[in-house]
Amino acid sequence: MAMTKTKVLALLKENQNERGIAHWKKRGQKNTKLKSFGIGLTQLRKLAKQIGRDHKLARQLWKSDVYDAKVIGLLIDDPKQLTREQAEQQVESLHGGYLSHVFSSCDATLAKAPFAFELAREWMDSKDAMRRRCAYGLLYELSKKNPKGMDDDYLSERIAHIRAVIHDEQMWVREAMLGALVGIGKRNKKLNKSAIRAVKDIGPVDIDYGNDNSCEPVDVLKHLTSGYLKKKLGT
């Protein structure tokens, strides 16, 4: 039986998490009018898999005023039916960045679209901090793939750029840049060494998560020097 927006909202209500709702009311909804059923991303992924790919439904859920429904919409969208116009419209309404992680990284549907790399390159040069943030989120996802034009020379240039500008960037762009360094540095031995040098040159990166003690900047060096990665790359 095909899912509808009404059925998805009912499914979300069935899986609501009271602790998550309390957290959302305390922190999440400050700068947005969105409501939430307090469902964590891991559970939302399971529900999205249960629903399946559906571009039309994804577009309907994106128009919802429920945060969890919007996340489901991003997760179930069809990358083959995504358009540049849709991506540009969505990046304009990410509600203070609450949805940017699922939109651009986190195994994002957008990163699977045929135009994803071209879009990421354009957004990296955007004057809009949200687009730059999402561009580096996309770069992290794309670093797991091999889109045309994203060779070692290009990624080495990105490492150099991040090293040069990260401390002058908007805070959430800085966070996304750290994530991109992790992805790039995992591709091969050459990029791994280059990313490690950059991270050491960059030093501590200031990211303020407020009173949320569960969040802290990603430890890029720890990721890039792990025993597993060393063995994988032969370093």
List pLDDT tens digits, range 80-137.
Answer: 999 999 999 999 988 667 789 899 988 889 999 999 999 999 999 999 999 999 999 9
pLDDT for 31 beyond 80: no
Domain assignment of residue 38, yes or no: yes
Domain assignment of residue 42, yes or no: yes
pLDDT for 30 beyond 80: no
Domain assignment of residue 60, yes or no: yes
Domain assignment of residue 22, yes or no: yes
**Alpha helix segments (H runs only) across the chain:** 5-14, 18-23, 41-51, 55-62, 67-76, 84-91, 100-104, 116-124, 129-142, 152-165, 171-185, 189-202, 220-224, 227-233
Domain assignment of residue 62, yes or no: yes
- What pLDDT was estimated at residue 144? 92
Please tell me the pTM assigned to this model: 0.92
Domain assignment of residue 134, yes or no: no
Question: Can you read off the two tokens belonging to residue 27?
Answer: 């922190």
From 218, 204, 184, 212, select the one nearest 98 (Cα to Cα).
212
Expressed as residue numbers, the domain containing 34 is 1-78
Give how many domains the chain has, as a whole number.
1
Domain assignment of residue 90, yes or no: no
Domain assignment of residue 39, yes or no: yes
pLDDT for 217 beyond 90: no
End-to-end CA distance of the chain: 51
pLDDT for 1 beyond 70: no
